Amino acid sequence: WKKLYLAHHWPVTVCKMSANDCQDPPEYWTIHGLWPDKGEDCNRTWHFNVTEIKDLMSDMRQYWPDVLHSSLNRTHFWKHEWEKHGTCAATLEILNSQKKYFGKALELYQRVDLNSCLLKAGIKPSSSYYQMTTIKEALTSFYGVTPKIQCLPPEEGEKAQTIGQIEFCFTKELQLRNCTALKGELDPVQADLKLGTEELSVCSDTLPTYYPSQVQ
């Protein structure tokens, strides 16, 4: 693989996509995962062991919660992320254990600090719409790179898309880079966030964009 995606999702939108027991989703962007752009070297026999990340638990619960299953034993989401993505990322020495993988993802999340960037740009959850170009320009000018922004397309009768996920790309040296594919690079597997029949796709620049403050 060539690059890593640090995916943040907006809990309110994740809840909107799902009929699950979303109880009071966090009102800040949380981690969805840290994904290599291709998953071909994964070690399926390397099972998740929650005791390896016990030192990270309070941060994991706060910044990487299982938004959809707030009441269940919460480690299932992390297990999925480790087995699907972490075991591939582990070909890199700085990510080659569960503690390093989850710890580094938390570190990158703090470094990017998406929540405060959006607030500084005056972009906050609201019942009025935003232009996608406004959000993109704010992020690009703040970070100096182009992130990948995913939305829930308008439902029937809606005219606006709903922002759902913002992904930042990193090199193997963990430096920010553009998410657009460079020459000779394949565009990665689409995000695996499929809930029921609805799924996120890259946001349209022309549709008004909803950044919801609570689950409707």
What residues act catalytically?
A: 32, 81, 85
Q: Which element (helix H / strand E) includes 167?
A: strand 161-170
Residue given tokens 């690059």 in the structure block: 3
Both tokens of 42, joined, read 């994964």
Q: Name 124's Cβ contacts closer than 8 Å, sequence gap at least 6.
A: 118, 211
Residue given tokens 């989850």 in the structure block: 102
DSSP assignments along 109-162, one per residue: HHHH-HHHHHHHTT----SS-EEHHHHHHHHHHHHSS--EEEEEPPPTT---EE
User: CA–CA separation, 35 vs 79, rounded Å?
Assistant: 14
Alpha helices in the chain (DSSP H): 11-16, 57-63, 75-81, 87-89, 98-112, 114-120, 132-143
